[in-house]
Every structure is written in C-alpha cells, then in structure tokens.
C-alpha cells in the first residue's frame, strides 16, 4: 500500500516509519511511505502556509494553494489514492474504519495545523475526514500516525501467524483476558493455576470466560452491540449466576435490626 503524508512537520514521521511493525512492513515492501512537506509547495520567499481568517476571529487558517498543490502532487504519484484529512470534525476512527481504509491501494493523509484548513480545499480535494477521538490535539500529525498504524497492521502479510490481526481483541469485539509470563509468582501474586495445567481446552475456556468478564465489567456497550454465540451466552449466564449467588448470600450478613449496630 502507498501511504503519503502531507504535513508542515515531516520530521515528526521519521521515528514512526523507523520502528517496530511499521518499519518491518516497509522493509518487506508491503508499505511504500512518503512524507511531503507542504511548505515546499509554497511559492513565496518566506514559504508561508497560513493566513488570517476572513470574518476575523482568533487563530490562523491553512492557506489553500500550497495544500492543493501538495495534494495534486501526491495524487499524481499514487494513482487512485483516497485523500484523508485528519480533523476534529471527522468521523471517529474505529477498527471498522481502519478495515475500510486498508482496502485501498493508496492513502494520502493530510495533517492540518492552525485552527483549520480552508473549507474550499476540503470540498474540492478531500475524500473523507477522520478524527481519532474527542480531545484536542495541536495538529493532525499524531492522529495520522495513529490511523496509519491501525491500517498497516491490517495489511496482508504484515503480521506473522503468531500475532495475526484476526487475534486482535477489537477485531473480535471483546477485550482481552489478562496475560502472564514468568516468574510463576511475582510480588506475592501467582499465575492462575489453569495456565500451568497444559490442558489447552481448559485454558481456552478460561481465557474466553475472563475475556467476557472483563468486557462485561469495563465495556458493557461492546457486548450490547455484538451478536453472542451459544457458548458466550452461557458464560455470561454463569457470570450472572455468580453475582446473584453473592448477592443472595448478603442476606446472611444483614445487620440485626434489634442489635442497635449499623
Ligand atoms: C477551537 C476549536 N478547535 C476545534 C475543536 C480548533 C482546533 C483544535 C485542534 C482545530 C484544530 C486542532 C488540531 N487537531 C487536529 O488537527 C486533529 C484532531 C484532534 O484535535 N483531535 C482528534 N482527532 C484529530 S485529527 C486532527
């Protein structure tokens, strides 16, 4: 996949391209990255990329001409690419949107700075706008890295069998169970016995039970919008019964109304 980034801070991407899975994907030829400096598409002596907003107001706006030229240059290099503007007004990135982006042969990420980008560039040259969540960043660069990271690990061949994208908890719609490695006891806490048992079926069942339990407690909305199979429904029934049992036993601890004690 071809990935182009348009930014006024191209150096911010050096570390991103140079580490971990992203670096491996590039080395394997699965990702062809390029970073274009929007400033190099200006034609004035001071290479200005921003200007004051018409109508007044605080902050500056990204000038349309250098950005439009940069987009044209990127489109020229990557035929058929989709242009994605990183923006707080965009649709929120999810595993599902990452999967959609991963299907294209090329993506051009545009990183805004200042208060925003001239609206006419967005109307004419941007295919979609993407946010990474409801908090304020100083620009689109980190957001573009987040989006590209999520996309790159979905590309065929990027992850080995041992850590295939199909194993990722979010592609399954559930949170993950806890993970454990040596030593068997750390700061007084033991690794759950079943993980040492060698009983692969029991281990798989335990993991599924913990995964559903974690999701129920921390992100119940994930369970609400997901179809549950027979086995998953049964495990949730068991969690529910465990809770009911605890609550029923509470009657045994109820303060005696005549004892005078709370
Ligand atoms: C004062 C109004 N702000 C809009 C919420 C202005 C503003 C804040 C931050 C304009 C641009 C930015 C820079 N942010 C991004 O470019 C950005 C972003 C973000 O701030 N949060 C989540 N996702 C993204 S994607 C790009």
- 150-202 pLDDT, tens per residue? 999 999 999 987 677 776 666 689 999 999 999 999 999 999 999 999 999 99
Query: Can you tell me the distance from the alpha carbon of 255 to that of 262, in angstroms, rounded to the nearest whole number?
Result: 6
Which tokens sit at 131? 């946010």
Per-residue pLDDT of the chain (262 residues; tens, 9 = 90+): 999 999 999 999 999 999 999 999 999 999 999 999 999 999 999 999 999 999 999 999 999 999 999 999 999 999 999 999 999 999 999 999 999 999 999 999 999 999 999 999 999 999 999 999 999 999 999 999 999 999 999 999 999 876 777 766 666 899 999 999 999 999 999 999 999 999 999 999 999 999 999 999 999 999 999 999 999 999 999 999 999 999 999 988 988 788 766 6
C-beta 112 within 6 A of ligand 1: yes
Q: How far does the centroid of ligand 1 lie from the alpha carbon of residue 210, in Å?
A: 37
pTM, two decimal places: 0.94
Which tokens sit at 215? 């999701």
Q: Which residues belong to CATH 1.10.1270.20 in the chain?
A: 185-252
CATH 1.10.1270.20 fits 185-252, yes or no: yes
Query: Can you tell me the distance from the alpha carbon of 55 to that of 114, in angstroms, rounded to the nearest whole number?
Result: 16
Report pLDDT for 108.
99
Which tokens sit at 25? 């994907």
The CATH architecture one would assign to domain 2-152 is 3-Layer(aba) Sandwich (3.40)
Q: How far does the centroid of ligand 1 lie from the alpha carbon of residue 164, in Å?
A: 33
Which residues in 77-117 belong to E strands, given as ranges?
82-92, 106-111, 116-117
Query: Can you tell me the distance from the alpha carbon of 203 to that of 194, in angstroms, rounded to the nearest whole number?
Result: 6
Told to judge if 183 belongs to the known catalytic residues of this protein, a careful annotator would answer no
Which is the catalytic residue, given 10, 66, 129, 153? 153
Q: How far does the centroid of ligand 1 lie from the alpha carbon of residue 70, in Å?
A: 21
**DSSP letter assigned to residue 12:** G
Told to judge if 153 belongs to the known catalytic residues of this protein, a careful annotator would answer yes
Told to judge if 39 belongs to the known catalytic residues of this protein, a careful annotator would answer no
Ligand 1 pocket test, pick from 84, 88, 131, 146 with the greatest ligand atom count within 8 Å of Cβ, gives 88
Please give the number of the atom of ligand 1 that sits closest to the Cα of 137: 20
Query: Can you tell me the distance from the alpha carbon of 235 to that of 201, in angstroms, rounded to the nearest whole number?
Result: 15
Q: How far does the centroid of ligand 1 lie from the alpha carbon of residue 114, in Å?
A: 9
Q: How far does the centroid of ligand 1 lie from the alpha carbon of residue 133, in Å?
A: 10
Q: Which residues belong to CATH 3.40.1280.10 in the chain?
A: 2-152
C-beta 109 within 6 A of ligand 1: no
C-beta 140 within 6 A of ligand 1: yes
Told to judge if 224 belongs to the known catalytic residues of this protein, a careful annotator would answer no
* Burial (0-12, 13-18, 19+ Cβ within 10 Å), 85: buried
Which tokens sit at 33? 């990255």
C-beta 58 within 6 A of ligand 1: no
C-beta 117 within 6 A of ligand 1: no
- The verdict on whether omega for the bond into residue 183 sits within 30 degrees of 0, i.e. cis, is yes
C-beta 139 within 6 A of ligand 1: yes
């Amino acid at each position: 996949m071809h990935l182009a980034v348009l930014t006024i801070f191209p150096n911010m991407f050096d570390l991103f391209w140079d580490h971990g899975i992203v670096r491996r994907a590039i080395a394997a030829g699965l990702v062809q990255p390029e970073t274009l400096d929007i400033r190099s598409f200006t034609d004035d002596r001071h290479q200005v990329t921003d200007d004051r907003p018409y109508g007044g107001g605080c902050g500056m706006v990204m000038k349309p001409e250098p950005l439009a030229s940069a987009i044209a240059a990127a489109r020229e290099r990557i035929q058929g690419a989709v242009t994605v503007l990183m923006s707080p007004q965009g649709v929120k990135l999810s595993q599902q949107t990452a999967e959609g982006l991963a299907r294209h042969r090329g993506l051009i990420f545009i990183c805004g700075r200042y208060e925003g980008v001239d609206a006419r560039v967005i109307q004419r040259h941007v295919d979609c706008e993407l946010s990474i969540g409801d908090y304020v960043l100083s620009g689109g660069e980190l957001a573009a890295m987040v989006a590209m990271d999520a996309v790159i690990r979905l590309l065929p061949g990027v992850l080995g069998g041992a850590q295939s994208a199909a194993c990722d908890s979010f592609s399954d719609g559930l949170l993950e169970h806890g993970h454990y490695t040596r030593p068997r006891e750390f700061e007084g806490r033991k690794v759950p016995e079943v993980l040492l048992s060698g009983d692969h079926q029991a281990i798989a069942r335990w993991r599924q039970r913990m995964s559903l339990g974690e999701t129920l407690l921390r992100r119940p909305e994930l369970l609400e919008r997901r179809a549950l199979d027979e086995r998953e429904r049964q495990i949730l029934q068991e969690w529910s019964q465990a809770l009911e049992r605890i609550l029923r036993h509470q009657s045994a601890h109820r303060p005696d109304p005549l004892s005078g004690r709370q």
